[in-house]
Chain A
Amino acid sequence: MNIALENISKRFGEVQANEGISLAVPAGTIHGILGENGAGKSTLMKILSGFIRADSGRTFLDGAPAQIRGPADAIRLGIGMLHQDPLDFPPMTAVDNFLAGRTGAWRLSRPDARRELEERQADFDFRVDPGARVENLTVGERQQLEMVRLLSLGARALILDEPTTGISALQKDRLFAALRKLAADGKSIILISHKLRDVEMLCDEVTVLRRARVAGRAQAPYDLNELVRLMFGRVVTREPRLEVPTGGPLLTLDGLAVEDHRLRLAGLNLEIRAGEVIGLAGLEGSGQELFLRACGGLLRPAAGRLRLAGRDLAGEPYPVFRDAGIAYVPAARLEEGLVAGLTPAEHFAIVEPGGGLVIDWKLTMEQAERRIAEYDIRGAATGPVDSLSGGNQQRALLSLLPPGLCLVLLEHPTRGLDVESASAIWRKLLDRCADGAALVFTSSDLEEILQYSDRVLVFFGGQVAGPVPASAMTVERLGEMMGGQP
């Protein structure tokens, strides 16, 4: 399908999210959309998929003007979108997710749907268990399910909003192969990403957005420096690794065992030193989350000891961990990290230490302004956090961490952040290390793990290998270990 957007504008209250954006995607091509956090990428694509409505502007499909009044119209016209945070129904099974929203006989036939799901998955070498609950699937699998679902609805244009954050290297290879195959079939694909390498590998053409407008366009082969300049208005480079000398032992795990109903980690022994950064590598759902939750006091260990500066915290309730200076930053930012509906300023008021019963709004607003400036959160301090762009929600979450922590546990700390904000966040985190805090983090970006960690733990199906010094590792070796090769 040939897609053309003409002069699209959209404003949310005070924020102009899109301004006079035009875009053309010929059938059979893969089009990349680049731009820093908050540039307006998701907004533009939500407009194309009918999820929100533009204030002005027109859409043409195969040359004819199209009226897209809502998602139902877009689906009928053959446009499907994979949202930045998977928009599915977590407690329901994969088949039910596949079926929900389809038209057809009013009575469900799950065996038929299951067969169709399996058949369509086989086309792309996807392997989602139709009977599994979606909340137990990895982000990559949820994405595969959504993609197959959209194609089954007859999508001829597929929009993917940052599909490569939070998925494994293998899943990414499968995804890219699938997208190439779809483009070869004449479908048009639009890919939003922060990762220049992904765009370089996949896209025939890119459009760069900055501050709600089109900053430029480019065609393959790309000059990556030029793309970066278009995205940020200047050249950004990755900084060399900051060396922080490590201190004495901070957290000691002694035969720790943790489990939930899916997975069991046992016999963990580890000594984390002050100032150290530990990276946790592994395919999603291999046990990293259990590990972090146990260290953060959110999951009671089944056995073993967890000593912080000599004091055994295993079995203590969460507030004890928190008061001891341990913080946990979850991956599901809107579900566990932030309170949807509250503004950033209100969040700051909640976490501000001390303080009386009554909120001093003047002081809070001042502090909010300070933190917003410090973490460069773009968007209004007085609007609800869930209306921030994905990357800015992540910044807001990190800006809530109190000062003086001794152990910070992070899941995908730079998920959805552009290169510039990612290094800004890391600068802030490493400052804490210089003050004697230790960091433990997960990431699906292996380069990030090797760049920032001192030592790496590799998780595979509940088995933990390592710790290995990051300096002795390569991305390839790490990939092998994550796949279970010793």
Chain B
Amino acid sequence: MEIFDLTIHELHEKLKAKEVSSVEATRAMLDRIEAVDSQVNAYITVTPEQALVQAEDADRRIAAGEIAPLTGIPVGLKDIFVTKGIRTTCGSRILENFVPPYDGTAVARLKEQGAVIVGKLNQDEFAMGSSNESSYFGPCKNPWDLSCTPGGSSGGSAAAIAARTATATLGTDTGGSIRQPASHCGCVGLKPTYGRVSRYGVIAYASSLDQVGPLTRDVTDSALLLGAVAGYDPRDSTSVNTPVPDYLASLAKGVKGMKIGLPKQYFIEGLDPDVKRAMDEAIALYQSLGADIREVSLPNTEYAVATYYIIATAEASANLARYDGVRFGHRAEDARGLAQMYSKSRAEGFGPEVKRRIMLGTYALSSGYYDAYYVKAQKVRTLIQQDFLNAFKEVDVLLTPIAPTPAFKIAEKLEDPLQMYLSDIFTIPVNLAGTCGISVPAGFSAAGLPIGLQLVGKPFGEQEILTAAYSFERETKWHLKKAPL
């Protein structure tokens, strides 16, 4: 077992026992990045100097007996997290040289605990995508099969876990951007309830849907990292002021008597047979563990993708208006006059997927179409949310696939945006409903690609899904399999 293979809690024990120092662990991780990242392209920016300074500082804290669960642990951040003094690109040319003057709240909380930030991770440009192919810094590859995408948008965050180039990472999830790449890369990815983790210092894609969450090697790490970043933040008006429970404490409670719902709309014809088999095995396992499995209905599921692509793009069209070449970011060199400076800078700075979504969102909000598209979508959102609340009157958690298929090939879906959008059908409703979901490794396809299982909880029901996920992981050990890299 190499240092870079360890989970947070395993490395923590070694740091605590002084079997290894944070500087050693960080060096090991940086060496590993050096060795394999050229194949994976999980990192946009690696920060060895800062990381080693932070590691030395962590070692001093450990020596002084002030070790917290994340002290000295090498973590990576999706490049959507604003980091003071460290270039933050959001996967876009428009921010190619942007060095923020501040840290976001989640980053600040990691730093307070003494975590070591080894670098900034690849992602779809502005988190818009399901394959990491829209990144200006080149596609990230799936460590299980380098010809496949790792999923997206937090592709780098998931690939770094699978490639063992970070002990844990943070990603963001707007329509599945943590859970789907976690599923495709065989790691654990959790999207918390909207409002659970501060969005301050997270570059906005769709503000009413974006949420920060952990990508980790196992469920214990997920609980641990979520606990470290969750909680009220006065700088985010949408952060919720309810106490953060001890997610670790309830992990081993077991699923005996837990009511698990299978939404019938999620077990459809087009489901990949390998995915179908993995789901069937998971259901059987939960049954054997004493869970009470029953079918539920989320009748408005088929409207989720359409709803999402109106709401998310409308919000994005405004969120991305600040990239105008005035205060920061790319400015076209040969523009004549202000109007051209705007339209050229933005045309050069944004890639096609971002432009497409800005266009779609601008159209949905424009005069004459606002009610037909935006207001309509917000109303359907209400129905979708009610579906979940109704289901949760009957069950404690929902069990669903994460994606209809395992990871797809690079460039396979690039030409048809709508097909790409439809691959998020199982994750998008959770964001629209504002509730929480986790992806846990649930087996492999015949081709050897990981398959994830989604557990969806009630609003602020992170404890239940973590408990259910932990029970599954303890029985299956899928998470222990390593990508061939």
Q: Is B a genuine binding partner of A?
A: no
